[in-house]
């Protein structure tokens, strides 16, 4: 029994059916927490940390615990629904894996991220794995540099040398 009703702001409630579908597919029970988290993952901005998600969710769902956020994000990434990206020793960042595969080009100064896709590189990776008799299952490709803006503006890197910090939201 799924009814659509309006909340106190008279905005239509999200149709959660596809979210429920995903949770069901994971073999998990459908809870308000998981729906809220998943909704945040799907509709919120990409490249968020678990901590950021927790804080954001806390506003509307003060009862949610960070353990639940961590747990569910892990489950989602284990099952390919979200992509976990890590750089250096920095907190993991997540993004809804609805788009086709892509890699990232990150500005080490402003943390801006450009997503790109390069079929040629993907193929070369397969070729390399083949050469060594490996069956390729995954890969990580992250490029770092200075974006056009940051090449002109003076100023030192906000991040210590050799301590990468990709995959953050841009500062500007």
Partner DNA sequence: CCCCAAATGAGAATGACTTTCATTTTTAAC
Partner DNA sequence: GTTAAAAATGAAAGTCATTCTCATTTGGGG
**11 vs 132 by CB, closer to Zn ion:** 132
109 binds Zn ion (CB under 5 A): yes
Question: Per-residue x/- marks for a copy of itself, 125-164, CB under 8 A?
Answer: x--xx-xxxxxxxxxxxxxxxxxx--x--------xxx-x
CA–CA gap between residue 43 and residue 41 (Å, rounded):
6
89 binds DNA (CB under 7 A): yes
- Name the one range near Mn ion by CB under 5 A: 13-21, 64-72, 94-102, 122-130: 94-102
- Residue 40: count other Cβ atoms within 10 Å of its Cβ: 20
147 binds Zn ion (CB under 5 A): yes
Angle between helices 66-78 and 50-60 (to 10 degrees): 120
**68 vs 166 by CB, closer to Mn ion:** 166
Angle between helices 32-43 and 66-78 (to 10 degrees): 60
Q: Which residues contact 119 (CB under 8 A, 6 or more apart)?
A: none
Contact positions with a copy of itself (CB under 8 A) in 82-111: 84, 86-89, 92, 105, 107-108
CA–CA gap between residue 91 and residue 50 (Å, rounded):
8
Contact positions with a copy of itself (CB under 8 A) in 15-74: 74
2 binds DNA (CB under 7 A): no
110 binds Zn ion (CB under 5 A): yes
Output the six-digit token pair for 56. 């954001």
Position among 21, 55, 115, 130 found at the interface with Mn ion (CB under 5 A): 115
Beta carbon of residue 14, minimum distance to Mn ion (angstroms, whole number): 23
- Name the one range near a copy of itself by CB under 8 A: 8-16, 18-26, 43-51, 122-130: 122-130
CA–CA gap between residue 56 and residue 50 (Å, rounded):
10
61 phi and psi angles, rounded to 5 deg: -135, 70
């Amino acid at each position: 029994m799924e009814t659509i009703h309006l909340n106190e702001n008279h905005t239509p409630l999200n149709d959660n059916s596809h979210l429920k579908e995903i949770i069901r597919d994971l073999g998990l029970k459908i809870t308000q927490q998981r729906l809220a988290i998943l909704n945040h993952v799907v509709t919120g901005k990409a490249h968020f940390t678990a901590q950021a998600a927790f804080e954001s969710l806390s506003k509307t769902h003060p009862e949610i615990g960070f353990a639940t956020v961590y747990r569910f994000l892990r489950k989602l990434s284990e099952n390919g629904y979200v992509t976990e990206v890590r750089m250096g020793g920095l907190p993991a960042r997540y993004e809804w894996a609805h788009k086709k595969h892509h890699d990232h080009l990150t500005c080490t100064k402003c943390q801006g991220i450009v997503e790109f896709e390069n079929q040629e590189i993907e193929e070369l990776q397969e070729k390399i794995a083949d050469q060594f008799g490996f069956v390729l299952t995954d890969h990580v490709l992250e490029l770092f540099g200075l974006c056009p803006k940051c090449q002109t503006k003076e100023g030192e890197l906000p991040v210590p040398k050799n301590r990468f910090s990709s995959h953050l939201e841009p500062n500007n």
